[in-house]
Structure 1
Amino acid sequence: MSNNPFKGIDSLKLTFNHIKIWYTAGMGFFTDAYDLLIISYIIATFTDSYKYYGLSMPGFTDYLTGPSADFWTGLLASSAIITAILGQLIFGFLGDKLGRKSVYGIEASLLTIGALLSAFSWNLPSLIFFRSIMGLGIGGDYPISATIMSEYANVKDRGKLIALVFSNQALGSVAALAIGVISASVFTPDIAWRVMAGVGAIPAATVIYLRRKVPETPRYSLLVKGDHEEAKKAAKFLGTDIEASSNVKSGMRGIGEFLSSYLPILIGTAGTWFILDIAFYGTGVYSSSALAPVFGSPFPSKSAMLTLGEFQSDLAKALFLGGVPFLVGFPGYFTAVALLDRLGRKWIQAQGFIAMAIIYAIVSSVMIVKGTKVIGFTIAPTLAFIIYSLSYFFIDFGPNTTTFVIPAEVYPTKYRTTGHGISAASGKVGAAITTYLFPVLIAGIGIKEIMIMLAILSVIGAALTFAFVPEPKLKSLEEASREKLEVSQ
């Protein structure tokens, strides 16, 4: 776009303040990933301590082991995801209506409060309630942090910077694995789960102040608010200036024009995120309980109760097993970071979906089942486990990263957080459905059929990517989003 007023920002080299914004934006995603894995550890701690150690935790165990166990397990696992949907839609709307800065920091506060109070829950309904508060914060973090990073980024490094915000998920997954295994080894089960829950408050708390101090983005300041001086101040934060008179603004008239112009793209970004999160959260939240019967459990098969030391050791091993796929996925995030601005978002997303489909198909084909139970494999179980774990690498070097990056680039400034919020909420709808239904699906149709279903969905994800997702690589935000700029007289 020849008259783009943000050429100075677009052509900048990477600065320290870019990195500062990355850290400020990224800590919410550290907590998001920590929460995804830690809730599976908390559920495993509740149920396994009763089953193998004979410990009943008043107010918790009776819900998770009684006749309505599947209902309460599904609700506990999905409560934060359900409210994240609301957070994504609400904060997405407010980020465009009131400005990015106006709401930035509120979501980190909700994350901190929800995680901290979760550690002090007195029964399962209270734990579900406090995790629901945390979920609102998690949801709000998606559209605001992604958009702030995209609107401050230079063109050459924009994909890398937005992906780096999201890659804090990798660090959060490893932290959850470490905290979960250490807590299970060191503390009694009734204390261990509280430590696991409470630690999630720390990273979000470190950025609340920083988020309140981030200036409004230059693009929102100029194109939506029409505040030329605020836009110049924001550009100065990066060490540059904007090239525009005070009368440049967004030409997007209203939500009706937005939906009519961007509906195909919305189908692409929302549809692919929906499919991705079905796979990512379904296999992720229940990694410990789902993988143990497939690849072997460290717990004894006999019903005799273990001593505390024996139980702590076996629980730590079981939790570590559930975290292994996340360790395999860890380098996938940073492979995406390194290659997004070279290979492009669309290619990386499509190849990730295709690789996932192949892996799920292979794993399901080598399973030997009796009814719904896996009783063996046609190849070595270790090899089957390695192949399955590779799906996490291609999830992260693929749609898990790109579905976050692309919506922050392909929508106009006036509706950028709205477009991202709708896309992210669509993903969390898929996550909520699969998280809530996964215990029932494992019991009803078994892991083999679930893998076949995920393979088919991954193929659909690749098809949606090719058909509806544009390529924003090395384009200015205005070009990537087809932004209409108007100069009023």
Structure 2
Amino acid sequence: MASNNIAVLSALDNARTQWYHITTIVIAGMGFFTDAYDLFCISTVTKLLGRLYYYDSSTGKPGKLPHPINNLVIGVALVGTLSGQLVFGYLGDKLGRKKVYGITLILMALCAICSGLSFGSSPKAVMGTLCFFRFWLGFGIGGDYPLSATIMSEYANKKTRGAFIAAVFAMQGVGIIFAGLVSMIMSRIFLGYYGGPPFITNHDLSTEPEADYVWRIVLMIGSLPAILTFYWRMKMPETARYTAIIEGNAKQAASDMGRVLEIEIQAEPDKVAQFNASNEYPLLSLEFVRRHGKHLIGTTTTWFLLDIAFYSQNLTQKDIFPTMGLTHTAENVSALREMFETSRAMFVIALLGTFPGYWFTVAFIEKIGRFYIQLMGFFMMSVFMLIIGVRYDYLKNKDHKWTFAALYGLTFFFANFGPNSTTFVLPAELFPTRIRSTCHALSAASGKAGAMVGAFGIQNYTQDGNISNIKKAMTLLAVTNMMGFFFTFLVTETKGRSLEEISGEDENDRTTPKPPFSPSEKWEENSRNH
């Protein structure tokens, strides 16, 4: 008995693209817009925080956050994200996707506002309060990863499922753009209001009186998308796959999806019960290892390796931005002018390099396939990072600024038209319904562990600006990407197939399921047949 004989699942797999698909993309995608904005806007204000709270009058130079505090302010949200992914991913399978979906938004909205309201009697107290709320902000952000991916995969039809999941994730690119844009606008507004010189000769003018408002406003604006989306998340019905397969309520699943699809669907409780009886094995079982262990190793390792490189990509920002004329040294500009220039640089890179890659994935994922896009992305990232590493001292010369900019932008482009998108899509498709959210959470948490290696390990190694260290780090990242290329062969292509066919849930016996071949496996099979 195959799942495509269950009317409600068959209706979902074969549904034409309808308005509810679009609304689901928007509702889930706005969560990722919020996630990206909240995670990336902090990098536009950290220098401002240093100049506001850590000015040392004895040196006469603009203040900056001590390195450990800078790491905490930026990295604490990553720790929260990893924790939230594991907790909410598990709860999504145990309590339901919808029941915990709204909690993540409430947490994000509340903590974004509280982050902007961080007060204290000393710089240490302000930073401590900020870190506390950014941890819980990250916790909510983490929950959005497995829940949004799982909900979109379970709502989508099999022909466009990859494009829809990738479109949800692509809102991350929009969020990064808005993080730069909002920071740029707010700093420019206050810079104009202050009326002081953007380029300074007197340190007393380097930090405008209104600067303390700017970073708070930028952080609090991150709550708006979450607040605006909350009502629509609460109106969404639970996914039919969760209702039928996990709760065992075939009648409710048929009713919910019949209303959404505007068709009449038979409940078929006997078929659903028979289907569920053959797929009861838990995550911590030999049966799961036999059926899906290789896939879980593939999704966790590739996401881990990708995020080491992805979160280390700003290693060269301190050189690429001045080389392109996007920023000046801190000693020569006021605090708000420095924030404006940093935000402008982030906006330009995101708009020209980061953003297009996401939408190339959306456009081509159902044509090229997840497998090939991931292989291509890892390979191209490795090539460009190796070139930057080997020729770094040559490229940072202003005479070669366009070559440097092109290579730098292409690493971002192929990260997003590549593994940064596909590592999000694949865990939402490869695993059975009962543990889909948990397996996606494990994969995403592995990615955030890689992000911490990149943010705290690789970047700490290069913090002194030593060109030799940067060259070694970029070469190491090229090797890391090639490892991701080879670990990709542990996953399979999933395009054009139902979730139950991919995960092996269609098999009602205990034999090893036959998932879709990866390209390498397909070639071997054809060779044997001939």
Question: TM-score over 0.5 for the alignment?
Answer: yes
C-alpha distance in structure 1 between counterparts of 2:263 and 2:155, whole Å: 11
What's the counterpart of residue 28 of structure 1?
Answer: 31
Worse-superposed segment, 28-37 or 398-407: 28-37
Find the aligned partners of 1:357 and 1:351 in 2 and give their Cα distance: 10
Q: 1:138 aligns to what?
A: 141
Q: CA deviation at 1:341?
A: 0.9
The answer on 1:41 being equivalent to 2:44 is yes
For 2:348 and 2:434, the matched residues in 1 are separated by 41
Large movers: runs of 4+ above 6 Å = none
- Paired residue type of 2:503: S
In structure 2, the residue matched to 1:470 is 492
Amino acid at match of 2:11: G
Work out the CA distance in 2 between the residues paired with 1:26 and 1:313: 32
Alignment partner of 1:94 out of 71, 91, 96: 91
Distance 2:396 2:361 in 1: 36
> Secondary structure at 1:483's aligned position in 2?
coil
Contact conserved, 2:385 with 2:475, CA < 8 A, in 1? yes
Matches within 5 A, 1:182-197: 182-187=185-190, 188-197=210-219
Measure the CA separation in 2 of the matches of 1:270 and 1:110: 26
**Residues of 1 paired with 2:215 and 2:239: CA distance?**
40
Residues 45 and 193 of structure 1 are in contact (CA less than 8 Å); yes or no, is this contact kept in structure 2?
yes
Distance 1:211 1:273 in 2: 27
Tell me which residue corresponds to 2:19.
16
Out of 385, 390, 401, the residue aligned to residue 360 of structure 1 is 385
Q: 1:431 aligns with which of 432, 445, 451?
A: 451
Aligned mate of 1:265, from 270, 295, 308: 295
Contact kept, 8 Å, 1:288 with 1:323, in 2: the verdict is no
For 2:500, give the aligned amino acid.
E
Other-structure match for 2:349:
325
Distance 1:319 1:288, change over 3 A: farther
Q: Secondary structure at the match of 2:413?
A: helix
The AA in structure 1 aligned to 2:505 is E
Maintained 8 Å contact 1:27/1:207: yes
How many residues matched? Answer: 465
Deviation digits for residues 329-387 of structure 1, max 9, x if unmatched?
21111110011111111101110111100110111122128xxxx9648x612321221
From 430, 443, 446, the equivalent of 2:463 is 443
Amino acid paired to 2:442: I
Contact 2:430 2:494 in 1 (8 A): yes
* Structure 1 position 115 matched with structure 2 position 112: yes
The alpha-carbon deviation at position 315 of structure 1 amounts to: 3.4
Q: Which of these residues, 322, 327, 330, is aligned with residue 298 of structure 1?
A: 327
Distance 1:352 1:481, change over 3 A: same
Distance 1:428 1:152, change over 3 A: same
**CA separation of 1:155/1:199 partners in 2, compared to 1, >3 Å: closer, same or farther?**
same
TM-score normalised to structure 2 length:
0.82
2:350 is matched by which residue type in structure 1?
F
Question: Quick check: 2:3–2:500 contact (8 Å CA) kept in 1?
Answer: no
> Does structure 2 conserve the Cα–Cα contact (< 8 Å) formed by 1:40 and 1:287?
no
Structure 1 residue 12: Cα displacement: 0.9
Contact 1:40 1:288 in 2 (8 A): no
2:405 aligned counterpart, secondary structure: helix
**One-letter code of the match for 1:98?**
L
Query: Any conservation in 2 of the 1:27–1:203 contact (CA below 8 Å)?
Result: yes
Alignment equivalent of 2:221, drawn from 196, 199, 207: 199
Give per-residue Cα distances to partners, 1:153-175, cap 9 Å, x unaligned.
Answer: 01111011111111111110111
SS in 1 for 2:308: helix
TM-superposed deviation, 1:55: 9.1
Contact 1:231-1:242 at 8 Å conserved across structures: no
- Per-residue Cα deviation, 1:205-228 (whole angstroms, up to 9, x for no partner): 111222122111111111111101
Q: Is the 8 A contact 1:70 1:439 kept in 2?
A: no
Whole-angstrom distance in 1 between the partners of 2:51 and 2:475: 29
Q: Which amino acid aligns with 1:36?
A: L
Matched, 1:399 2:447: no
1:457 corresponds in structure 2 to: 480
- Return the letter of the residue paired with 2:135: S
2:77 corresponds, among 77, 80, 91, to 80
Letter in 1 for 2:487: L
Q: Work out the CA distance in 2 between the residues paired with 1:49 and 1:387.
A: 35
1:25 positional shift: 0.8
Q: Which moved more, 1:38-47 or 1:120-129?
A: 38-47
SS in 1 for 2:460: helix
Distance 1:49 1:185, change over 3 A: farther
| Structure 2 runs not aligned, ≥5 long | 120-125, 191-209, 510-530
Retained in 1: the 8 A contact 2:116–2:220? yes
- 2:262 is paired with a residue of what secondary structure? coil
| CA–CA distance in structure 1, aligned partners of residues 396 and 500 of structure 2 | 55
Matched, 1:479 2:501: yes
Q: Quick one: which of 131, 146, 169 aligns to 1:128?
A: 131
1:94-120 CA-to-partner distances (Å, cap 9, x unmatched) read: 111111122111111111111111111
Residue aligned with 2:311, SS: helix
Q: How does 1:333-412 map to 2 (within 5 A)?
A: 333-368=358-393, 376=397, 380-412=400-432
Say if 1:39 and 1:77, in contact at 8 Å, map to a contact too. yes
**SS in structure 1 opposite 2:475?**
helix
Q: Residue type matched to 1:410 in 2?
A: L
- In structure 1, what is the Cα distance between the partners aligned to 2:77 and 2:144? 13
The answer for the alignment partner of 2:204 in structure 1 is none
| Residue-by-residue CA offset, 1:221-255 (whole Å, 9 max, x unaligned) | 11111101211122111334555620324313222
Provide the aligned C-alpha RMSD in A: 2.5
Aligned partners of 2:100 and 2:338: how far apart in 1?
44
Q: Could you tell me the TM-score, scaled by structure 1's length?
A: 0.89
Structure 1 residue runs without a partner (length 5+): none
- Trace 1:209-248 onto structure 2 (pairs within 5 A): 209-236=231-258, 237-240=260-263, 242=265, 245-247=268-270, 248=272
Amino acid at match of 1:437: G
Counterpart in the other structure of 2:193: none
Partner residue, 1:154: 157
* Larger of the two Rg values belongs to structure: 2
Letter of the 2:180 partner, please give it. L
Q: Measure the CA separation in 1 of the matches of 2:418 and 2:233.
A: 28
Distance 1:343 1:481 in 2: 21
Helix, strand or coil for the counterpart of 2:393? strand
Return the match for 1:419 from 412, 429, 439: 439
CA distance in 1, matches of 2:316, 2:435: 36
The CA deviation at 1:13 is 0.8
**Distance 1:109-1:362 versus aligned 2 partners, 3 A rule:** same
Change (3 A) 1:329 1:47: same
Counterparts of 1:240 and 1:277 in 2: how far apart (Å)? Answer: 43
Kindly provide the amino acid, as one letter, of the partner of residue 447 in structure 2. G
